[in-house]
Amino acid sequence: MGTDHRAVWVIAEQINCHLQSVSLQLIGQARKLADQLGTLVEAILLGDKIEQPARQLIAAGADRVYLGNAPELEVYQPELYTQIAVNLASEQQPEIILIGSTDMGRELAPLVAAHLKTGLTAHCIDFVLDKELILEQRIPAYGGLLSIVCPEKRPQMATAAKGVFATPEPDDSRTGEIVLIDIPTDLPGRVKTLEIIREEPQGVPLETASTIVAGGAGAGDIDGWKDICELAAVLNAALGSTRPAVDEGWAELETMIGQSGKMVSPEVYIGVGLSGEQQHMVGIVGARVMVAINNDDKSPIFEQVDYGIVDDCRKFLPALIEQIKQYEEKKNTCE
């Protein structure tokens, strides 16, 4: 294609033959970068019976998919997946590798980077090329955005979470190449998956919720946290949290929103007892209405929301919950 730049890669992820949305979102970003570099978008996809997900990657913008299709790849295996990705990257020498910041990606990305002796930037929220066509990997830091570059080592590697970028519209008319890759047979395989037990999600999923109630350290204690949980329940909202709430043991890691948690796009976001630090707020993408409840009128969160309530959430929430319950009872009676 008349360029010194090699391909932009995405290491895609599938679960039960279903392509994860973050992989499609990263294909969209890879397409943008590759077009500027004048090169190809390529993806690695590993699993079993995954021809259809491979075609989805092409429809989303990939020019070539390296397909590892074998029963032993059905479930993510760290050593085997790493070896395949490293062998292929060493052979093809991609310019950039993007990986989803998922449970798999957070383990696989540093393993691949270490073997390739290159850098890795985690939890990026934007990718741009500088005037030298070097990838600026942007992460939230110090109340703004910090650009990280890898000027010498290749490939340039980064991860991004689901929901940071838009999912490209599929174009089923696109054509691309699917290349079957060899699966190493000499790897000892010190880890073997014996059984998978999937936990059924409880409540409203954060990623698809139209209303989210998120709590922070201002809850004070477990009783204060229970009030936040009850507010989410009476509003039929998803429950979110900040890192301090998780560290205190009040909330599960799966509820954490932000740079190292989940990205969400609710219609309504209600932040309770949290200060509005960048690491959390960066996880809220395009919320239509944002509300904050905090007893510190100088808290940064009040500069980022549409409506602010200055009050102790441990006193305010019980009264608010009671009012909501009364409203619901009255509405049901009228109906």
Total-model pTM? 0.77
12 and 157 in a single domain? The answer is: yes
CA–CA separation, 67 and 46 (whole Å): 6
pLDDT tens profile 154-169: 999 999 888 788 889 9
154 and 13 in a single domain? The answer is: yes
43 and 116 in a single domain? The answer is: yes
Domain for residue 190, yes or no? no
User: In which element (H, E) is residue 148 found?
Assistant: strand 144-148
pLDDT tens profile 212-221: 999 998 888 9
226 and 162 in a single domain? The answer is: no
CA–CA separation, 7 and 216 (whole Å): 42
No. of H helices and E strands in the chain? 8, 17
CATH number at residue 172: 3.40.50.620
User: In which element (H, E) is residue 328 found?
Assistant: helix 313-334
Segments forming the whole domain that contains residue 321: 206-334
Question: What pLDDT score was predicted for residue 44?
Answer: 96
Q: Taking a C-beta distance cutoff of 8 angstroms, is the pair 198, 288 a contact? A: no
Three-state secondary structure call for residue 140: strand
176 and 224 in a single domain? The answer is: no
Mean pLDDT, residues 177-198: 78
- Say if residue 4's pLDDT is above 70: no
